[in-house]
Structure 1
Amino acid sequence: MINTLSGRFLVLTVIFVMVAEILIFLPSIARFREEYLLARLERAQIASLNLLAAGEMIAPEVEQELLRNAGVLNVVLRRDVARELVLSGPLPFPVGQTVDLRDDRAWVLIRDAMSRLINPEPEVIRVLGQPVMGGGIQIEFALDSRPLHAALLEYGRNIFWLSLMISAITAVLLFMAVRRVLVMPIRKLVDQMDRFAEAPEDARRIVTPASSVVELRAAEEALSAMQSQLSQSLKQKERLAQLGGAVAKISHDLRNILTTATLLGDRLESVDDPTVKRVGPKIVNSISRAVSLCEGTLAFGKAEESPPALTRFDLATLAEDIAESEQLAVAADVVSISTDIPLGMQVRADPDQLHRVLGNLVRNARQVIAATGTPGTITMCAHEDARAWWIEIVDTGPGLPPRAQEYLFQPFQGTARKGGTGLGLAIAAELIKGHGGTLTLKETGPNGTTFCICLPRDGILEIV
């Protein structure tokens, strides 16, 4: 019970109500004590005025009866300057406390009331006050503390039981209200979560926000959005798994076809046509890379991307080859592809994988610029320092849309053009990560986009 939300709320409610009752009890018992003494003061004044009105001596028995009816031991009334003992009786105990009812400060009243409540020792209390209805200058009387202590105890017990009853009723009502308004909706939400967890692919089990409580509705909306995203992700992963199986089969057959094309392409070297001699090797290289890609796809279906075979090579030569190959696919007056890489700059990487990365980035930029119908340029530039080699692909295209930036490097989501799959950037990022480097979007906007590749010299990049 105590470990439940309802149980803890019940206990806290009882505690808080009792604290409130204590805060109410302190001034309440102080007021009760003050009214108790004021009532004795009025009775003592009435008894003394009756005696003074008689104008003659009265029998001791009558005087004691007046004192008993007033609830006091003696009365001293000051009507003029003189102080006169009007009614007197024996004092059973010495005077232990003097109380001035004319001092009505709250903290003084509370202090004296609590002091009397916790002090059971009998004593005589001397009380000073202002006579009511102009009955004199000052009235003074003495009383036994025991009846006052008993009355305070009785009042305290009544207040305690009343507070306990109020606390119990309040706690039960609040418990039922909280259980109805808060606990039951939360439990219902938990049940819906458990139901969704049994079959997260089933969109019918996604939570439908329906609570009228603002906070609970916000929780339901957040949970619904998360479940929708999770359900879509699971469906997408299932489709990707199916697609992976299909791609593996296609890659197997395509590899065989491309192997035959490679054998046929080798015969182009014997043709004397200058154009064929210039284009033939590029075709053969492209087919070889396609075969390598098919083999890599088959390997990826079994495990992860194969680790890079690191070697040193001339980056400018690789970039020129990519620029020439991509330039063949588009007129130079539509998209101009160029390189700005220092001659003789040697990088340590896998040439085939870096070729795939740069080829994907340049191809994406070329297709986006060509789709706009506005001429543009693509430049591959590079520099190096003591820590790493830095390669940038800069284009003057329209920039990446917001969705592409949000899901950058995620398969089937981070595409910047209609009909694209978003695989190119995902593959490129994974290949560069295999080198221990990073592929980042440096900047994008209406004036163009810049991607930056960082290849660490020692194979481990520490970003500062």
Structure 2
Amino acid sequence: MRLLNSLSGRFLILTAAFVMLAEVLIFVPSVARFRADFLLSHLERAQIASLALLADEIISPDLEEELLINAGVFNVVLRRDEARQLMLSSPIPYPIADTFDLRNANAFRLIGDAMHRLITPEPQVIRVIGDPVRMGGLIIEITMETAQLRNAMLDYGLRILLLSAVISLFTAVLLFLAVRRFLVKPIKRVVDHMKSYAAEPEDARRVITPSAGVTELREAEETLQSLQTQLTSALKQKEHLAQLGGAVAKISHDLRNILTSAQLFTDRIEMSEDPAVKRMAPKLVSSITRAVHLCESTLAYGRAEEPGPTLSRFALTEIVSDVIDSERLSVGENQVSFSEDVPSKLVVRADAEHVYRVVANLVRNARQAIISSGKPGEINVSAHEDSDSWIIRIADTGPGLPPKAQEYLFKPFKGGASKGGTGLGLSIAAELIRGHGGALMLERTNENGTVFCIELPKGDLQNIS
């Protein structure tokens, strides 16, 4: 039963069945041809028997009976010179059942008559008409019994079927061995590799090495190799992320305590009478508060309790101004210039901290790209709204994203936009915007600069988690 359920076993059965079908298609016309030759041979023997009468017009009844028995017929009628003449005759045991004219019979007629004879076991007397051989007359006609004909056909048919069975079995065995050699064994090898890889997918040594000679199987092995390689890489990355997550959670815990202490000191700085301190203190407090919130969010994420965005209405220009002011402190005005085109009355409904992190990340990436190019550049943050969403664009005149960064955009640890970058910033930004039901998209990047677009929907986001 196991063999029958296997690929090679089923192929063996199908091969034997198809070979037998082919042999049947050969058997039918072969039996029909055998029947036609059998009848023609009796016509020829009957004609030869009638020659004795032509040589000697008077023959004894005993000789006539012997000639008819040797010819295997009851009567012989030969038409010569338009005259129909009964040459030899003997009593017919029962009436003539059918007449067959072999002079103009087509293949389908011969096949039909042969099959009918095989399925008719009762002996009958038939009349057969044909052309005499060697110009021995115009028409020769005989009457004969079908028992001998049917027995000869059955004997011939059984020999053909036996030969067909031997050929089909031999062919099936050869094909069975060929299928096992060229298909089953390579497929079993692929299956064994899959089982071995499934046991330890992190082990790169278990990735299959394509070696099949059959084109289709080799393509399957190459596809499997690519899939296993990507999966092994993804599993390693997942493991690294898990380890990184644990480390970040520990760092965030301690950093939160440090920032909490710093927050207490900034409260005292706010009471200073120095105008410069009064101007910078609120921004310092805001930055430290955001850092504390970020650490708390990181710890919550490590516990798989990352909360959804806390939606509120706020003026977008305040967020953008804070980002630009922070970035201006990191670079001189003569190298990177900043501009904003955000309507003062544009109010969005989103998580202010999340939007700040996303805009700050994109602006910081743009600044780093311009600085790395060694040429002056400009960063512009613009925003507008339509009936369905708020749209924020961050455009720069930097060198554009490298091909690797474009290929693995928004995928962590696949290569950042800047040298030595991890790609985490864009991945986190895209995830934060998706949490709002929106999208972060790369709108354009080339040697003239890069434009990122943030879309925040205006729909009901209360149930976003």
Report the TM-score, using the length of structure 1 for normalisation.
Answer: 0.93
Write the letter of the residue equivalent to 1:109: L
When structure 1 is superposed on structure 2, of 440-449 and 175-184 the one drifting more is 440-449
User: Once the 2 structures are TM-superposed, how far is the Cα of residue 104 of structure 1 from its aligned partner?
Assistant: 4.4
Alignment pair present for 1:294 and 2:295:
yes
Give the structure 1 partner of residue 205 of structure 2.
204
Write the letter of the residue equivalent to 1:46: I
Give the structure 2 partner of residue 35 of structure 1.
37
Kept after mapping to 2: 8 A contact 1:44/1:72: yes
Residue number among 47, 50, 53 corresponding to 1:48 in the alignment: 50
Alignment pair present for 1:103 and 2:107:
no
Give the structure 1 partner of residue 193 of structure 2.
192
Render the CA deviation track for 1:335-384: whole Å, top value 9, x for unaligned: 33322222211111111111001111121122123222333333222222
Render the CA deviation track for 1:125-166: whole Å, top value 9, x for unaligned: 211111122222221112111211121222222222222222
Give the structure 2 partner of residue 242 of structure 1.
243
**Change in 2 beyond 3 A, CA 1:61/1:455:** same
User: Once the 2 structures are TM-superposed, how far is the Cα of residue 270 of structure 1 from its aligned partner?
Assistant: 4.7
**Change in 2 beyond 3 A, CA 1:448/1:69:** farther
Give the structure 1 partner of residue 385 of structure 2.
384
Residue aligned with 1:78, SS: strand
Alignment pair present for 1:356 and 2:362:
no
How far apart are the structure 1 equivalents of 2:435 and 2:131?
97
**Change in 2 beyond 3 A, CA 1:32/1:399:** farther
Write the letter of the residue equivalent to 1:301: G
Residue aligned with 1:167, SS: helix
User: Once the 2 structures are TM-superposed, how far is the Cα of residue 460 of structure 1 from its aligned partner?
Assistant: 5.1
Give the structure 2 partner of residue 214 of structure 1.
215
Kept after mapping to 2: 8 A contact 1:126/1:142: yes
Alignment pair present for 1:337 and 2:338:
yes
User: Once the 2 structures are TM-superposed, how far is the Cα of residue 452 of structure 1 from its aligned partner?
Assistant: 2.4
When structure 1 is superposed on structure 2, of 167-176 and 415-424 the one drifting more is 167-176
**Change in 2 beyond 3 A, CA 1:117/1:346:** same
Alignment pair present for 1:310 and 2:311:
yes
Kept after mapping to 2: 8 A contact 1:437/1:459: no
Render the CA deviation track for 1:428-453: whole Å, top value 9, x for unaligned: 12212222222233343344333222
**Change in 2 beyond 3 A, CA 1:264/1:115:** same
How far apart are the structure 1 equivalents of 2:378 and 2:107?
87
Give the structure 1 partner of residue 16 of structure 2.
14
In structure 1, the gaps of 5 or more residues are: none
When structure 1 is superposed on structure 2, of 440-449 and 413-422 the one drifting more is 440-449
How many residues are matched?
A: 460
Write the letter of the residue equivalent to 1:45: Q
Give the structure 1 partner of residue 27 of structure 2.
25
Please give the residue correspondences for 1:298-447 in structure 2 after superposition, counting only pairs within 5 Å.
298-413=299-414, 415-447=416-448
Give the structure 1 partner of residue 141 of structure 2.
140
Kept after mapping to 2: 8 A contact 1:405/1:414: no
**Change in 2 beyond 3 A, CA 1:114/1:403:** farther
When structure 1 is superposed on structure 2, of 258-267 and 177-186 the one drifting more is 258-267
Give the structure 2 partner of residue 125 of structure 1.
126
User: Once the 2 structures are TM-superposed, how far is the Cα of residue 107 of structure 1 from its aligned partner?
Assistant: 1.6
Kept after mapping to 2: 8 A contact 1:404/1:415: yes
Render the CA deviation track for 1:381-419: whole Å, top value 9, x for unaligned: 222233322222233333333432332222111522211
Give the structure 2 partner of residue 253 of structure 1.
254
Residue aligned with 1:408, SS: coil
How far apart are the structure 1 equivalents of 2:398 and 2:121?
94
Residue aligned with 2:236, SS: helix
Give the structure 1 partner of residue 177 of structure 2.
176
Residue aligned with 2:28, SS: helix
Write the letter of the residue equivalent to 1:416: A
Alignment pair present for 1:279 and 2:276:
no
Give the structure 2 partner of residue 63 of structure 1.
64
How far apart are the structure 2 equivalents of 1:369 and 1:80?
116
Kept after mapping to 2: 8 A contact 1:265/1:284: yes
**Change in 2 beyond 3 A, CA 1:160/1:293:** same
User: Once the 2 structures are TM-superposed, how far is the Cα of residue 79 of structure 1 from its aligned partner?
Assistant: 2.3
When structure 1 is superposed on structure 2, of 18-27 and 153-162 the one drifting more is 153-162
Write the letter of the residue equivalent to 1:203: A
User: Once the 2 structures are TM-superposed, how far is the Cα of residue 454 of structure 1 from its aligned partner?
Assistant: 2.1
Residue aligned with 2:4, SS: coil
How far apart are the structure 1 equivalents of 2:460 and 2:448?
34
Write the letter of the residue equivalent to 1:211: A
Render the CA deviation track for 1:233-254: whole Å, top value 9, x for unaligned: 1112112111111111211222
When structure 1 is superposed on structure 2, of 283-292 and 264-273 the one drifting more is 264-273
Kept after mapping to 2: 8 A contact 1:414/1:425: no
How far apart are the structure 1 equivalents of 2:330 and 2:103?
106
Write the letter of the residue equivalent to 2:54: L
Kept after mapping to 2: 8 A contact 1:436/1:459: no
Write the letter of the residue equivalent to 2:16: V
Residue aligned with 2:5, SS: coil
**Change in 2 beyond 3 A, CA 1:447/1:40:** farther
User: Once the 2 structures are TM-superposed, how far is the Cα of residue 189 of structure 1 from its aligned partner?
Assistant: 1.8
Give the structure 2 partner of residue 164 of structure 1.
165
Report the TM-score, using the length of structure 2 for normalisation.
Answer: 0.93
Write the letter of the residue equivalent to 1:166: I
User: Once the 2 structures are TM-superposed, how far is the Cα of residue 271 of structure 1 from its aligned partner?
Assistant: 4.9
When structure 1 is superposed on structure 2, of 425-434 and 404-413 the one drifting more is 404-413
| Percent sequence identity over aligned pairs | 60
Residue aligned with 2:379, SS: strand
How far apart are the structure 2 equivalents of 1:125 and 1:96?
6
How far apart are the structure 1 equivalents of 2:39 and 2:448?
91
How far apart are the structure 1 equivalents of 2:51 and 2:371?
116
Runs of 4 or more consecutive aligned structure 1 residues displaced over 6 Å after TM superposition: none
Aligned alpha-carbon RMSD (Å)? 2.1
Residue aligned with 2:348, SS: strand
